[in-house]
Chains A and B, each alone.
Chain A
């Protein structure tokens, strides 16, 4: 099992992995990352401003991955994500909201976009978020509609539609809020070759698992050998002498992965 290796001193150099988030506005993309990186959850989180680049180490058996996590910064809203966003991404988490059927359709179109624009061997995970809204225990534990809504307001406040849980307020039958059956999403994920999880950024359910399972599936040898599209490493290996680091004046002689 992997864990968040914040304290343990590991001899190995972490392997840098660029991971991009995709998904409709307000499905919980930033909340998933916040849970993973800080183990926090903010109810009624403001749209993502000022923090769209987070890193987190993830330890997996003998090696350490350092996730460099890119948030959309709202640029997905009008389909204006730049090619730069997909470039050299080795992993992607495509998020939908289990209480909103259209968000799965949107997720499917993002998967297509990734297959078109990203590395051919990118590892994609599909995450059905806000599962706390449809499970009896946590929904009952949540004191009313406002709390269950907390998982909602994500990247784009003005775009965030009312969460079904808010209006329904029927905590007795939370499964009734579910619009995407688990079987259906699982079947799609299997067919498309994606990892699949139902998650709750609010309770933490399934969050660490996404990043751990991605870590297991990443073709690390490809990255280390500089093959298979991880051109950050490739570039460093091929012509380190010509690579420049603007942050300091010295020519970059070492691998950009070392931290």
Chain B
């Protein structure tokens, strides 16, 4: 360990692994370490033994759940938006060769006590039970307005300025009811709360378009999911990094981030060994998250409560879907933040046959977080077993430019990876001094295919 590296990466969560892979590909000498003996950190998928070790110290998984190796249970529930930013990185780095993906079978929204499919096109809107006859006509006009919008053609604008007018103005222009606004803003634009309504409409417009485009790509839902669980994602990017010379060490306790007198990063100490590097990137848990005293490198922004539920049946009302997302918009249950349900099953090689894994999650608003999940848990039917966790969301206090210490963000409550990619792009720019958009994302020429 007496070599010097360009970058040391701490933690093998998805954010760190994407950065590690891209940095190695750019020719940087990367050392990537994790305190756990498995890949993925918070974005790992665990087998039953690992899950029990984490949540039920000292207890063995029950035999009736089947073989340990059939399980790959995600800790953080997220899906990949088919036409989103993560998909672009997956394709351009060619790590898709290490994985197989399947569609998530359905996207649902909770309204007036029951769940319904989220309509995403004019056609679906016409058939949806979410709206009455006249509301359907108004929604149809709204969707065709969005789909026909062209920045350069003012005749498509119908008097709206997406950069100045609020989403409220747009909804009002088409006369959409508040229930319709609810599923558009929360189940399609995927906003976690209602703050977006009073802001300029463009970001909401872009999110709705992304949803529709992703929906159209494969047909059943806007989401895709890797076989064997989300933990395959960090593993794939770690392999990319290794292929380009990145060095991997798991099961390596990190004892100290060593700095010089000016607080600048020098190296990382594990036991008696200190490895030096020019820069360090790591997840908040390596930089004093949750600890008192010392230099504060991360602060808590909020908390997320998540309940991993083992089911022996599909979620009622989802047409026996092997997988789905259900959004419970905050207003429907008198909350400030939405509740999400993400369900996957043996179809995705994440559980034994006839077992579904549903994760219910939301941003914590009270002192009894688990109780806040009740409206979601009630939709699941009989819950065979349940593992509840409360995670703090940490954000770095500094941008790393002065001390060469770059801390990534915790995995938030959103149902997808778009904010993870935002973080990757942001850290990339700060670490390399170059905008992410300039990164050669074109296909890797690491192929040596012989036919």
Contacts and interface: CB of A to CB of B under 8 A. Distances in A.
Interface of A: 6, 37-38, 47-57, 73-75, 77-80, 82-85, 87, 158, 231-232, 235, 238-239, 242-244, 246-247, 249, 251, 256, 259
30 contacts: A6-B450, A38-B448, A49-B245, A50-B243, A50-B244, A50-B446, A51-B448, A53-B97, A53-B243, A54-B449, A54-B450, A74-B248, A77-B248, A78-B247, A80-B248, A80-B249, A82-B39, A82-B238, A83-B38, A85-B239, A232-B100, A235-B100, A235-B102, A239-B102, A242-B102, A242-B103, A242-B105, A246-B87, A251-B219, A259-B451
Interface string B86-118: 010011000011101111010000000000000
A243 B100 contact: yes
B104 to A, nearest CB: 9
Contacts of B232: 84
A74 B29 CA distance: 14
A247 B249 contact: no
A228 to B, nearest CB: 15
B349 interface: yes
A53 B103 CA distance: 26
Contacts of B236: 84
A244 B102 contact: yes
A101 B96 CA distance: 39
A239 B236 CA distance: 23
A77 B90 CA distance: 26
Contact of A75 (B90, B101, B242): B242
Contacts of A50: 243-244, 445-446
B224 interface: yes
B98 A84 contact: yes
Contacts of A85: 239
Given A73-B239, A82-B39, A87 B228 contact: yes
Given A57-B451, A235-B227, A74 B100 contact: no
Q: How large is the interface on B (under 10, 10 to 19, 20 to 34, 35 or more residues)?
A: 35 or more
B269 interface: no
Contacts of A256: 100
Nearest to A231: B349
Given A82-B235, A158-B3, 20 more contacts: A37-B450, A49-B245, A52-B243, A53-B243, A55-B449, A55-B451, A74-B242, A77-B247, A78-B252, A79-B251, A80-B248, A82-B238, A83-B235, A84-B232, A235-B100, A239-B347, A244-B82, A246-B96, A246-B224, A247-B96
A251 B448 contact: no
B264 interface: no
B138 interface: no
A6 B446 contact: no
Contacts of A158: 3
A247 B91 contact: yes
B440 to A, nearest CB: 14
A85 B451 CA distance: 23
Interface string B379-407: 00000000000000000000000000000
Contacts of B105: 242
Interface hub of A6, A85, A244, A251 (most chain B Cβ within 10 A): A244
A74 B447 CA distance: 17
A51 B322 CA distance: 37
B218 interface: yes
B250 interface: yes
A38 B101 contact: no
Nearest to B90: A246
A82 B105 CA distance: 28
A38 B451 CA distance: 11
Interface string B325-368: 00000000000000000000001010000000000000000000
B247 to A, nearest CB: 7
B173 interface: no
A37 B235 CA distance: 26
B95 to A, nearest CB: 10
